[in-house]
Amino acid sequence: MNSNQKKPQGLSSLETLYPFFNSLQEFVCIISEEEKFEFANQSLLSFLEISSTKLKVLTVCDLFPLFDKNFKKPHSQIDLIHPKSNKKHTFVLNFSHDIDGKILYKFTISPFLAELPETSSSSENSLFNIHSSKTKKTQKENTHSEDQLTFLLRNLPGMVYRCKNDPNWTMVFVSEGCYDLTGYKPEDLIENKKIAYNDLIHPQDQIKIWDEIQEAIQVNKKYEFVYRIFTADQQEKWVWERGQAAFDNHQQSLVLEGFITDITDRIRSEMEAKKAQQQADALREALTEITTQLSLAEVLRKILDSLKKVLSYESATLFLKLDGEVKIVAARGFENTGLLINRTFPSNHKLILAIDEVRKPLIIKDASKDPRFEKWDIKERSRSWMGIPLIRNHITIGYLTLDNNQPDIYTEEDANTAQLFANGAAIVIENAKLYEKSQQLATSDALTSIFNRRHFYELALTEFERSKRYKAHLSVVMLDIDHFKYINDKYGHLTGDQLLISFVQRVQAELRISDVFARYGGEEFIILLPETDNRQAIQVAERIRVVTAEKPFTNNQTAPYITISLGVATLDSSCDNLDTLIDRSDKALYEAKQIGRNRVRSWNH
C-alpha cells in the first residue's frame, strides 16, 4: 500500500458483524442512545426504500411512533410507519438481549398485519426478522460484553473471521461457526495450526480470490465473492464471503475482517434451474429440427441425431411397429449401423413387453446382468440401457432405445426428458406418414409407385448435405435392366410394364426403410444408401443382382429371366456435390455393361 492511500480504520467488535448483517435477507438495525439509527442492513434499507444517509437523519419514533426504550417483553407488538407509503406494518418482539453495552432487539413482522410496498416481494418478506440494537448506558464490565458477543458469534450461520493478508490467509480469530462451515475447529485454523484456510479453497478459485482482495485493498473498498471450499471430510461447498481490510488493534499490521457463510443449497438450486432451462431449450430445439422435416425417411434419420442434443448416448436405435413386428428403421453409434437397418424383432420380446407393460421409459442399470438381454442382438456396448415408447393417440407406434457403456447412467429425470422427446417424435412420424401419402402422386413414378427422378434428387440432396456435415457414410447404386428392349419387342410393352413392377417389388424386399429407391428413367433405377460404406454398398448391389437373376418373372403365359448391371459410388473427400456422386455411379454402371453385363462395378479414382 502506498503512503498516499487512506488506511482502513480498525473495526469494533460489533462492526465486525456488519458483513454478516448485510448478507441476511432479514432486517437488521442498530439504534443509538439518542434513538438515532446508527446502522441498517441492505434488506431493511430496501424495504424502507431509503438510503443509509437519509435513515440516519430520522429518529426511531419517526418510524416507530410508540417506541419505548424499555420495550423488552417477548411477543409485544410495535407498529412501523413506512417513510414513503405511510403504511403501517406491525412487528412482534421475539427477544431482547444485552450485548456490547447495547440492547439487541429481535423483531418478526406479523404475517397477518403486514402490508409490504410494491417494490418488495411479500413472499420473501412476510416472515422477515428485524434485529435492532438500542444503545443503553451500562455498568457491566467489558468482559461481560465480550461474553455476549461470543454468544452471538457462536450462533451465527457462518464464520466471522480476522486473518492476515498473506497467501495462506492465516487466521488470528474465527468464530465457532467455522466448524459447521468447514469441519475444522477454530483452533485448527488459527495460525494455521492444523490447516491454512487457503488450503480449503478450491484450487481453481485461489488465484481469483487473491487478486480480487488485493485490488479491493488498493482502492480501500469492501470485497465480496462466491467460491468453493473443501471441508474436512472432502465435501465441496459453495460459500459467500464479504469483508474489508483493516488494521489490528495496535494499528500496525494489515488484517482482513469479514464473514463467510454456506450458500451451497442456493447455488445447487440455481444450477438445477439452469440445467432444467438448458434441457428445455435443447428439447425444444431438437423437436423443432425434426418438425421441419416432411419426408418420413428424413424424419427417421433425423430423430436420433436430434435426440443426442437432449440426452447423451453411446448408441441408439429407433424401432417402428410394422406388420406385427418391431423393425429397426434408424440407428446410430454401432460398428455396423447400416446392417442393422430393417432388422426385425418379435413384438413379444421380453424387453418390448416390459416397455409395453409400463407404457413409460424402462431403465436398466446394468444390461449385462439382466436376463432379458440374452436374446437382444444389438448390445455391443450396453451397460446402461433405456427403452422409451413412441405413443400417439394412446397407441404405441414404436420405440427408442439408448445404450451407454457405463452402468447406472440414466436417471428418472433423463427418462422424463426422453419421454417428452418421444411424444413429440411420435407426432412428427405420424404427420410425415400422412404427408407422404398426400405427396405420393406428385413424387412417385406412375407405373412402379416408387419415387420419381425429381423427388429422388430432392431427398438425395438433403441426405448428401447431412452426410457431409456429420461425416457419415453415403453410397449410390445405379442399375439398369440388361437388354430390356428385347423383352418389350418379344413379349410386348404390357408384359414389359408388369415385369418392371415385379422387379421393383423384388428389389424393395432387399432394401431398408431408410434407403431411397427411385425410377431414374425407362429401365434405369437408382438407390441411395445412407449410413452405408463402399463395401456394404457393393454387398447390397450384389444381393440385388443375385435375387434378380435367380428366378424368372412369371406373368400369364410368360416367364422371362432378366439380369441387371449395377454401378456403385461412395461419398469421399473428393466428392463435392451430389451430381458428382451420381455421375460416378453412372460411370461404374457403364463399365459393368462394357465388360459383359450382369455384374457390379464400383467407381474408383
Q: What is the pLDDT of residues 329-343, one digit of tens each?
A: 889 888 877 788 888
- The 10s digit of each residue's pLDDT in 489-546 is 998 899 999 999 999 999 999 999 889 999 999 999 999 999 999 999 999 999 999 9
Q: Are residues 219 and 289 in the same domain?
A: no
Read off φ and ψ for residue 40, nearest 5 degrees: -140, 135
Sorting pLDDT into bands at 50, 70 and 90, what band is 45?
Answer: confident
- Are 408 and 556 contained in the same domain? no
First to last CA, the chain: 74
242 and 291 inside one domain: no
CATH number for the domain harbouring residue 165: 3.30.450.20
To the query of whether residue 33 is one of the catalytic residues in this protein, the response is no
CATH of the domain at 329: 3.30.450.40
CA atoms within 13 A on the CB side of 193: 10
In the chain, % of residues over pLDDT 90: 43
Q: What is the DSSP letter of 33?
A: T
- Is residue 463 domain-resident? yes
Contact 405, 399 (CB under 8 A): no
**Are residues 449 and 402 both part of a single domain?**
no
Mean pLDDT estimate for the chain: 82
Residue 145 has pLDDT above 90, yes or no: no
Residues 297 and 434 both lie in one domain: yes
Q: Indicate whether 103 and 187 sit together in one domain.
A: no
Q: Which pLDDT does position 228 carry in this prediction?
A: 96
Whether 578 is covered by a domain: the verdict is yes
Q: What is the pLDDT of residues 356-396, one digit of tens each?
A: 999 999 999 998 888 888 777 776 667 899 999 999 988 99
Is 5 part of a structural domain of the chain? no
Same domain, 486 and 597: yes
Residue 555 banded pLDDT, cuts 50, 70, 90: confident
| 327 and 195 housed in the same domain | no
Whether 382 is in a domain gets the answer yes
Between β-strands 129-135 and 27-31, what pairing exists: parallel, antiparallel or unpaired?
parallel
pLDDT (0 to 100) of residue 135: 34
CA angle, 397 then 403 then 409, to 5°? 115
Instruction: Quote the strand ranges of 126-249, DSSP E.
Output: 129-135, 159-164, 171-174, 223-230, 236-247
CA–CA dist 11, 249 (Å, integer): 9
State the cell numbers at 113.
398485519
565-597 core/surface letters (b: 16 or more CB in 10 A; e: else): bbbbbbbeeebeebeebbbbbbbbbebbeeeee
Cα distances from 15 to residues 10, 132, 246, 525, in angstroms, run 9, 14, 12, 88
CATH at 450: 3.30.70.270
Residue 381 pLDDT:
62
- Phi/psi class of residue 4: alpha, beta or left (left: φ > 0; alpha: ψ in -120 to 50)? alpha
8 within domain boundaries: no
Query: Could you report the per-residue pLDDT of 570-602, keeping only the tens digit for each?
Result: 999 999 999 999 999 999 999 999 999 999 999
Mark whether 72 and 41 lie in a shared domain. Answer: yes
Same domain for 433 and 300: yes
Task: Domain of residue 471: give its range.
Answer: 444-602
Whether residue 327 lies inside any domain: the answer is yes
| Model confidence at 230: pLDDT above 60 | yes
**pLDDT tens per residue, range 133-144:** 333 333 344 444
Residue 571 shares a structural domain with residue 459: yes
Report d(CA 425, CA 435) in Å as an integer.
Answer: 15
Q: Of 26, 298, 523, 531, which one is the catalytic site residue? A: 523
Structural domains in the chain (count): 4
Last residue of a domain, one of 233, 262, 291: 262
DSSP classification of residue 381: S
Residues 6+ apart with CB under 8 A from 62: 81, 83
Greatest CA span in the chain, whole angstroms? 128
pLDDT digits (tens, 9 = 90+) for 103-119: 656 565 654 433 333 33
Same domain, 372 and 457: no
394 in a structural domain: yes
| CB contact at 8 A, 516 and 597 | no
378-392, 413-427, 452-466 — which is least confidently predicted? 378-392
Answer whether residue 248 is part of any domain: yes
Return the pLDDT at 7.
39
